[in-house]
Amino acid sequence: MRILVVEDNEDLAQWLIRALRQQQYAVDWINNGLDADYALKAETYNIVILDLALPKLSGTEVLRRLRSRNDSTPVLILTANNSIQSRVGELDHGADDYVAKPFEMEELEARIRMLLRRSAGHSNPAIACGNLSYDTNSREFAIAHQPLSLTPRERGVLEILMRKEGSTVSKAALAQSIFSLSDETSVDAIEIYVHRLRKKLDSSNVRIVTLRGLGYLLRATGHDT
């Protein structure tokens, strides 16, 4: 899952980046509103963590422009202004959640997980497809309750397919979700991760189906293996 952090305080941003990457998120950092606006036009993110007091363009304006493009990417506001008026105002502008500085990382991570579940249409932290299960809190997979060992990139691909079960996901969309701007890789690398995942899912009743020219689909076969 890919996160954009828009924060001009470098110390805070680097702390956030380290913590989020430890949780296996792909993270990009931008320190001003104008560049953030450009990035949000060109790139796809699963969630945006957005400070309000930004140079060049305010966080409020970044949010307004994002929503004016009918972009529904979840936005979590991060700011030192914790007044009722500020919280209500940003929520009315289209923010999905609001965390005031200073904050505990555990709370921020929980809010991120909540927003990711909500954006995928899931209210339950546990997601299942056939006998494959995924705990969105621990971000761990299991087959018939037996832990499934995955690399971070394999987990990232399977997480997107699981959250979008029954829907086709293109290779480009998968790549956008697991690679940050600093990663040197190609969209074709997704084929490698899908190949590895198919082998690891062989003992399950779940398959990754290729739809030529469209992408991949996660589907339960209906028969235990």
The two three-digit tokens of residue 118, written as one number:
């909500």
The two three-digit tokens of residue 142, written as one number:
């299991």
- The larger pLDDT score, comparing residue 126 to residue 187, is at 126
- Mean pLDDT confidence for 8-18: 95
CATH superfamily to which 2-119 belongs: Response regulator (3.40.50.2300)
The Cβ of residue 52 has, within 10 Å, a number of other Cβ atoms equal to 22
The Cβ of residue 64 has, within 10 Å, a number of other Cβ atoms equal to 13
- Mean pLDDT confidence for 194-220: 93
Predicted confidence at residue 16, as pLDDT, reads 95
Mean pLDDT, rounded, of the chain: 89
- Please say whether the beta carbons of 1 and 164 come within 8 A: no
Closest residue by Cα to residue 186 from 195, 173, 175: 175
Ranking 7-16, 94-103, 146-155 by mean pLDDT, the lowest is 94-103
The secondary structure of 58-98 as a DSSP string is -HHHHHHHHHHTT----EEEEES---HHHHHHHHHTT-SEE
- The larger pLDDT score, comparing residue 201 to residue 121, is at 201
Predicted confidence at residue 4, as pLDDT, reads 97
Class of 126-220 per CATH? mainly alpha
Predicted confidence at residue 224, as pLDDT, reads 42
Helix, coil or strand: residue 141 = strand
Q: Which residue is it, tokens 């913590």?
A: 19
Predicted confidence at residue 13, as pLDDT, reads 95
**Rounded to whole angstroms, how far apart are CA atoms 108 and 54?**
20
- Mean pLDDT confidence for 143-165: 92
The Cβ of residue 79 has, within 10 Å, a number of other Cβ atoms equal to 20
**Domain boundaries in the chain?**
2-119, 126-220
Q: What is the pLDDT of residues 43-68, one digit of tens each?
A: 989 999 999 989 999 999 999 999 99
C-alpha torsion 84→85→87→90, nearest 10: 170
The two three-digit tokens of residue 100, written as one number:
């005031």
- Mean pLDDT confidence for 3-14: 95
Q: Which amino acid is at 153?
A: R
Closest residue by Cα to residue 36 from 6, 8, 77: 6
Predicted confidence at residue 82, as pLDDT, reads 65
Predicted confidence at residue 24, as pLDDT, reads 87
- Mean pLDDT confidence for 73-85: 80
What's 112's DSSP letter? H
State the pLDDT confidence band at 83, using cuts at 50, 70 and 90.
low
Residue 143 has pLDDT above 90, yes or no: yes
**Rounded to whole angstroms, how far apart are CA atoms 147 and 196?**
16
Predicted confidence at residue 213, as pLDDT, reads 85
Predicted confidence at residue 198, as pLDDT, reads 96
Distances (CA, A) of 208 to 54, 144, 205, 216: 42, 17, 10, 6
- The larger pLDDT score, comparing residue 187 to residue 220, is at 220
Nearest-Å Rg of the Cα atoms of the chain is: 18
Predicted confidence at residue 186, as pLDDT, reads 73
Predicted confidence at residue 223, as pLDDT, reads 46
Residue 100 has pLDDT above 90, yes or no: no
**Rounded to whole angstroms, how far apart are CA atoms 111 and 99?**
9
